[in-house]
Amino acid sequence: MHSSGSKILIVDDEPQIRRFLRASLSAHEYEVIEADNAANAIKIITVEKPDLVVLDLGLPDMDGLEVIERVREWSQVPILVLSIRADESDKIAALDRGADDYITKPFGMGELMARMRAALRHRQQSEGESAPVVALGDITVDLAKRQVTRRGQPIKLSKKEYELLRVLVSHPGKVMTHQQLLREIWGDAYVEETQYLRVYVGQLRQKLEADPGRPHLIITEPGVGYRVQSEETPAV
């Protein structure tokens, strides 16, 4: 299934933003539905079951962070936050509560749509029955065999390097916060040890990137975390 034709819920209390997004997304054959507050959004997610939610945080009846928390109690629908809040703390809070990605206003439509495609691909991949083989340029990660190759030649990774790469490629295009990565790989006692991530991301880039000083596979989201560059997700 191509991402065009997917049902997208736009949650924003600004009519002009909803109109702009409806026109832009409809032109690319997405089915667009709208909500202007949190209560309507939660009701629509329950009844309409959209394929992806584009969510503003500044809603009149409930903070968007609480919407994410409530929805995550029963649904794994991809949630892409589109907000004027640009502080790192806001981004981290949204991602830690279960948002898949975060874009600040003003935004470029090309970047928004690329990140939407990445979130939709991840959803389709996670619904598949077989363990995926993830291609990142000329790098292939076989999650079933726990093998990483470049043009068929094996790349030797340490256990922690592989675990870090596995978590990132299991969420293609999704921003993973420092805390999420540290908790999953090292455990709760290490959630503040961000230097661990810097070291291991640096080691992975040395082994995987054509130019480790200008990475295009493992992208840093400054102050927030990292994401793996999937095919159509721009490096920004």
Residue 47 has pLDDT above 70, yes or no: yes
Q: What percent of the chain has pLDDT over 70?
A: 92
Give, as one character, the DSSP assignment of residue 188.
G
Residue 218 has pLDDT above 50, yes or no: yes
100 and 192 share one domain: no
Q: What percent of the chain has pLDDT over 90?
A: 74
Residue 132 has pLDDT above 80, yes or no: no
150 and 215 share one domain: yes
Nearest alpha-carbon partner for 35 in 24, 49, 53, 51: 53
99 and 189 share one domain: no
Decide which of 127, 148, 164 is a domain's last residue: 127
Residue 224 has pLDDT above 70, yes or no: yes
Strand 52-55, strand 79-83: pairing: parallel
Decide which of 109, 127, 145 is a domain's last residue: 127
What the block records as the tokens of 173 is 């295009």
Burial 81-118 (b: 16+ CB within 10 A, else e): bbbebeeeebbbbbbbbbbbbbbeeeeeeeebbbbbbb
Q: Which residues contact 153 (CB under 8 A, 6 or more apart)?
A: none
Residue 45 has pLDDT above 80, yes or no: yes
For position 123, what pLDDT does the model report? 77
Residue 128 has pLDDT above 70, yes or no: no
165 and 146 share one domain: yes
Do residues 161 and 181 make contact, with C-beta atoms less than 8 angstroms apart? no
14 and 96 share one domain: yes
Burial 179-193 (b: 16+ CB within 10 A, else e): bbbbeebbeeeeeee
Residue 29: CATH number of its domain: 3.40.50.2300
139 and 102 share one domain: no
Look at the chain and report how many structural domains it folds into: 2
Residue 165 has pLDDT above 90, yes or no: yes
Tell me if 143 is assigned to some domain.
Answer: yes
Q: Is the pTM for the entire model greater than 0.85?
A: no
For position 129, what pLDDT does the model report? 46
- Distance between CA atoms of 84 and 57, rounded to whole angstroms? 8
Confidence of residue 4 (pLDDT cuts 50, 70, 90): low
For position 198, what pLDDT does the model report? 94
Tell me if 83 is assigned to some domain.
Answer: yes
Decide which of 127, 158, 193 is a domain's last residue: 127
111 and 137 share one domain: no
Residue 3 has pLDDT above 60, yes or no: no
DSSP characters over 58-111: B-SSSBHHHHHHHHHTT----EEEEES---HHHHHHHHHHT-SEEEESS--HHH
Tell me if 170 is assigned to some domain.
Answer: yes
201-214, pLDDT tens digit by residue? 999 999 999 999 99
Tell me if 234 is assigned to some domain.
Answer: no
Q: Is 159 helix (H, G, I), strand (E, B) or coil?
A: helix
63 and 151 share one domain: no
121 and 223 share one domain: no
For position 231, what pLDDT does the model report? 54
117 and 28 share one domain: yes
Phi/psi class of residue 146: alpha, beta or left (left: φ > 0; alpha: ψ in -120 to 50)?
left
Give, as one character, the DSSP assignment of residue 149.
E
- Distance between CA atoms of 174 and 122, rounded to whole angstroms? 8
Residue 14 has pLDDT above 60, yes or no: yes
Domain range for 86: 7-127
For position 233, what pLDDT does the model report? 44
113 and 220 share one domain: no
Strand 31-35, strand 7-11: pairing: parallel
14 and 116 share one domain: yes
For position 204, what pLDDT does the model report? 96
For position 232, what pLDDT does the model report? 46
